[in-house]
Structure 1
Amino acid sequence: MRNPFRRWGWTRQADSPSAQERRDLGVGDVSWPVEDLASPAAVSVEGALRLTPVFAAGRLLSTSVASLPIKQYRKVGDSTTKLPLAPLFQRPASQGTIDDWLKRAVLSLVYRGNAVGLVMERDWLEYPTRIEWLNPANVFVQDTGPIGTRGSFTDPVWSYLGVELPSEDIVHIPWMTLPGRVWGLSPIAAYAVTVSTGLAAQKFLDDYFRAGGQPPGRFQNTAQTIDQQQASVIKRRIVQAIRSHEPIVYGKDWQYEPITVSVQEAQFCETMRLGATQIAAIYGIPPEKIGGETGGSYTYSSPEQRQIEFIQDALLPYLVSLENHLSALLPRGQFIKFNADALIRVDILTRHAVYEKQRLMGKNNLDEIRALEDEPPLPDGKGQDYTPLPIQAGANITVPQLRSRREDPGLHLIHTPRGTHG
């Protein structure tokens, strides 16, 4: 494995900003943690991850993208040919597999707004075969200089822990960028106030229970003084009655006053749900997936429709960005695509009805359909025919017969090779 730092003989730049200074220079970034974790100015990735909806959003997006199959194609004119995956998508990093590699990239986008990779190995044609994702917190890019000069957004200067990196070895995928800037906006900074509110509510609950919570009530005798021993006996009897949900019977000299939680304290759960809903809006995630609430007609939609909306609203922006940037690392005319349909799982009857229609119209052959069900291809190439069945030579199939096949799940599609009769 080549060492980019050793190859080019880079050294730490004397005028390179320190790690703390670099963190303050990012577009949309906020200052790093201070004593008050719940302060908006103190919100960081590490602090935000303590909030369940923020962690859940990253987990949901990263694992969803990493679970999608990747396919590579070559486009020549109007024809598209499927290719074997390039080495970059087979073992892309020194640690972990392709799904671990994709999770690192997506988590960098979700929490930092930038995924920054360093090309570590290339093939004999200089196409990348291994890329390591860097921690965006340790990456600095100079992109504010005059247009056309070194250090501008047209010719940015990259450095990692004070060591300058060549632009040709940098793979940068931003979340959202402002005009004239290279470094992407930070989602954590975008909802810093929302996160700080959730952290404050979470801290309030933690302090509440650490302090012993709140007593359920007060039992007082208005006529006589009770010593400590008598108070202990009475307290045990009251606690036993409360725990067993039995009524409390006492004389005329006793007063029981229950202690209720204030309205502000009772709104804790509502505050947490509101924060989760707002965080979900940042990422386009259905709120109920990370602890929020969804109202309206969405509540009555089917699971399949909700999954489709999740792919379109939340996953698609990340998928398109990854596809475009990673395809740019391949030879001209080649590109990759994520199979987002793999996340939509329908019942077996509907799934096979779709397979049948795909085969009838010639969209897929039998071997491709069998591959979707993890089954081996038919022997002797019998499953390679794409000819639409209704118009096959010698195939006497009428429209009523096709309709009856679709309506009767007991009837199976019979493939008739071209030029024969069945």
Structure 2
Amino acid sequence: MASFTERIRNVFSPQERHASITTAADLIPPRNGSSRKGRVLVNNDSALQHSAVWACLRLRADLISTMPVDVYRRVNDQQIEVPKPPVLINPGGDNCDLQEWLYSTQVDLDRAGNAFGLITERNGRGLPSRIELLPLQSVVVVYRDNKLSYRVGSETFEPADIWHEKQYTVAGLPYGLSPIQYAAHSIGEYLSIQDYATDWFNGNAIPAAVLKHTKSTVPDDKAEEAKAAFKAKVSAGELFVHGNDWEYTPIQAVDSQTQWLAAKQYGLTDIARFFGCPSDLIDAAVSGSSVTYASISQRNLQFLIMNLGPAIIRRENKLTKLTPSPQYVKLNSDALLRLDPKTRAEMNEIKLRSRQLAPSEVREQDNLPAFTESQLAEFDRLYGLPKQGGPDDSKAGTNND
């Protein structure tokens, strides 16, 4: 078997090499000539039958795709927000807005390490203005004679015509590695356990059994007849009636065989590690292990820093290429931290006192209009006029009369 280094070198040999993004076969040789793990074929679609895979992909894509996307440029060392170009509003046309586009590409990035789109329109600056997303299975990355190209169906495209985002990269490869491919054994184990449980309880939850004739030895041909008659009755959910010459003994699972229950439970946390999602966030925490956080915001902050932060930065850098220089794109990750009302109120109070925010801006965050004159007059009547020291004065709000 070729070593990892040799397989890397083979990918870039002078001969043409096709690298299927969905399998990364050049890096992971199939075991025993098959891509099956046990009885289960693991690929980008079948892996979604694993609840932990689905939960991790959904959580990461949900959060990143719903973060507000803002475009800025620096003027006199100040960050000024500028209008977003159309490609950052409806990147896939009228039928695909930015949230759907970001969600779809994030799912592909997290499960396969790559996301592809065909650039179908450009603006006057030559930048993409419309990017039609491509299914992973339809794209093949081709590297030949030190030249990169993409094959979509029967057509070949130059890199300038394809939008290609990637993550989980290694040096020397023109595409990202697929977590599903490397997690195939863990995913296959879990799916095989599901098949095992389904087979065990197949036929109205009747387990395998031994049907024994206690009066005499049954010839093979008669045994087959008895077996067929028994299966015909039982598989249809009917009762099997017999006298005292037949003995029916269900095969009970011994303790060592029931370990598949524990394997199924721990398989969830194993997958969570592959897909960069803490197991407690997908309801897959192992019994007996717990971490206590002071607040929801503290938990979300750790998730943002340790898991989502690098992915967000990579996406910002790639989306920035859709805007003219010196503009740049930022995903507003503060939206992830707005889930704890108490912490948010305390932070707003600090920003009000330090004059980082105006009251109208705080109310806008809560989807409330600015104070009216009658509301301001009511505050003055109830709490008195504020001191001239400003909002950061500890005695602000007391009556000066």
Q: 1:29–1:66: structure 2 CA closer, same or farther, 3 Å change rule?
A: farther
Q: Distance in 1 between matches of 2:208 and 2:40?
A: 37
Return the offset for 1:266: 2.3
Question: Do structure 1's residue 137 and structure 2's residue 148 form an aligned pair?
Answer: no
AA aligned to 1:363 is: Q
Q: Which residue of 2 aligns with 1:166?
A: 158
Contact 1:115–1:136 (CA under 8 A) maintained in structure 2: yes
2:382 alignment counterpart: none
Query: Cα deviations across residues 345-400 of structure 1 (Å, max 9, x unaligned)?
Result: 344343223212112212223333222112345689xxxxxxxxxxx995367754
1:356 aligns with 2:355: no
Distance (whole Å) between structure 1 residues aligned to residue 54 and residue 360 of structure 2: 41
Q: How far apart, in 1, do the equivalents of 2:118 and 2:207 lie? A: 58
| Correspondence for 2:279 | 287
1:128-173 CA-to-partner distances (Å, cap 9, x unmatched) read: 221122122221222364xxx4x2xxxx222211311132222211
Amino acid in structure 1 at the alignment position of 2:389: A
Residue range with higher mean Cα deviation, 333-342 or 179-188? 333-342
SS at match of 1:401: coil
Match in the other structure for 1:6: none
**What is residue 75 of structure 1 aligned with on the other side?**
74
Aligned in 2, Cα 1:354/1:317: closer, same or farther, shift over 3 Å? Answer: same
Task: Give 1:127 deviation, angstroms.
Answer: 2.1
* TM-score, normalised with respect to structure 2: 0.72
Q: Deviations over 1:258-295 (max 9, x none)?
A: 97532233222311121110110112211133352247
Q: 1:308 aligns with which of 284, 287, 301?
A: 301
Alignment correspondent of 1:368 = 361
Residues 1:326 and 1:258: Cα distance change in structure 2 (over 3 Å): same
Q: Write out per-residue CA displacement over residues 59-111 of structure 1, whole angstroms, 9 at most, x where no aligned residue.
A: 11111212211111112452110122221121111333221111110111122
Residue 49 of structure 2 aligns to a residue whose secondary structure is coil
Is residue 2:71 matched to residue 1:58? Answer: no
**1:115 deviation in Å?**
0.8
SS in 2 for 1:72: strand
Query: Is 1:345–2:338 an aligned residue pair?
Result: yes
Q: Which residue of 1 aligns with 2:196?
A: 204
> Percent identity among equivalent residues?
26
Cα displacement string for residues 27-64 of structure 1 (whole angstroms, at most 9, x for unaligned residues): 54777xx9995439932111111111111111111112
In the TM superposition, what are the counterparts of 1:226-265 in structure 2 within 5 Å?
261-265=253-257
Partner Cα separation in structure 2 for residue 280 and residue 23 of structure 1: 20
Q: What secondary structure is seen at the aligned counterpart in 2 of 1:61?
A: helix
In structure 2, the CA distance between the partners of 1:115 and 1:77, relative to structure 1 (3 Å rule), is farther
**Counterpart of 1:74 in 2: which secondary structure?**
strand
Partner-residue secondary structure (3-state), 1:85: coil
SS of residue matched to 2:291: helix
Matches within 5 A, 1:22-421: 28=27, 38-39=37-38, 42-76=41-75, 78-94=77-93, 95-143=95-143, 145=145, 149=146, 151=147, 156-214=148-206, 261-294=253-286, 298-301=290-293, 302-377=295-370, 394-395=388-389, 399-401=393-395
The one-letter code matched in structure 1 to 2:111 is Y
Question: Cα gap change, 1:366/1:347 in structure 2, threshold over 3 Å: closer, same or farther?
Answer: same
Aligned length, in residue pairs: 338
Instruction: Determine helix, strand or coil for the equivalent of 2:45.
Output: helix
Q: Secondary structure at the match of 2:143?
A: strand
Alignment TM-score, normalising by the size of structure 1: 0.69
Greater mean alpha carbon deviation, residues 80-89 or residues 341-350 = 341-350
Residues 27 and 186, structure 1, Cα contact 8 Å, conserved in 2: no
Q: Is the 8 A contact 1:92 1:129 kept in 2?
A: yes
Partners of 2:256 and 2:23 in 1: how far apart? 35
In structure 2, the gaps of 5 or more residues are: 1-14, 211-248, 374-385
1:238 — aligned with what?
A: none
* 1:205 CA displacement: 0.8
Aligned-pair Cα RMSD in Å? 3.9
For residue 207 of structure 1, report the CA deviation from its aligned partner.
Answer: 0.7
**Equivalent AA in structure 2 for residue 303 of structure 1:** I
